Amino acid sequence: MISTVVGSYPSKKQSPNNFKDSVLNYFGLYDEYKIGIENAVSKQIKAGIDIISDGQVRDDMIKLCAKNIIGYEFEGNMSKITSKLRAKNLKNSENDLKYGLKVMNEELSELNISKKEKKRKGIKGIITGPNTMIHSSTIENNSYKAKEDAILDLAEILKLEAKSLEKAGAKMIQVDEPFLSTGIVNMEIAKESINTISKSITIPFSIHICGVIYDIMPDLLEFNVDILDFEFAGNNTNINIFNDYDDDLNKIGLGCIDTKNTKIETIREIVNIIKKGLDILGSKNLLIDPDCGMRTLPENIAFSKLKVMVESIKSLESYN
Ligand SMILES: [Zn+2]
Domains of the chain: 2-315 (3.20.20.210)
Q: Is the pLDDT of residue 149 over 80?
A: yes
Backbone angles phi, psi at 32, to 5 degrees: -70, -10
Phi, psi dihedral angles at 31 (to 5 degrees): -115, 105
> Which has more confidence, 204 or 246?
204
Q: Write the pLDDT tens digit of every residue in 29-53.
A: 999 999 999 999 999 999 999 999 9
Q: Model-level pTM?
A: 0.95
User: CB neighbours of 21 closer than 8 A, spacing ≥ 6?
Assistant: 30
CA of 298 to the centre of ligand 1 (A): 17
Sign of CA dihedral 202, 203, 204, 207: negative
Given a cut of 70, whether residue 138 has pLDDT beyond it is: yes
Distance 18 CA to ligand 1 centre (A): 38
Each residue's pLDDT tens digit, 267-285? 999 999 999 999 999 999 9
- Work out whether the CA dihedral 180, 182, 188, 189 comes out positive or negative: negative
Ligand 1 ion: residues within 5 Å (CB): 210, 292
Cα separation of 75 and 137, whole Å?
11
Rounded (5°) CA angle 200-202-207:
75
Q: Where residue 18 falls among pLDDT bands split at 50, 70, 90? A: very high
Distance of alpha carbon 99 from alpha carbon 97, whole angstroms: 5
114: Cβ contacts below 8 Å, ≥ 6 apart: none
Q: What is the pLDDT of residues 160-177, one digit of tens each?
A: 999 999 999 999 999 999
**How remote is the CA of residue 7 from the centroid of ligand 1, in Å?**
9
CA of 93 to the centre of ligand 1 (A): 19
Can you tell me the distance from the alpha carbon of 284 to that of 272, in angstroms, rounded to the nearest whole number? 18
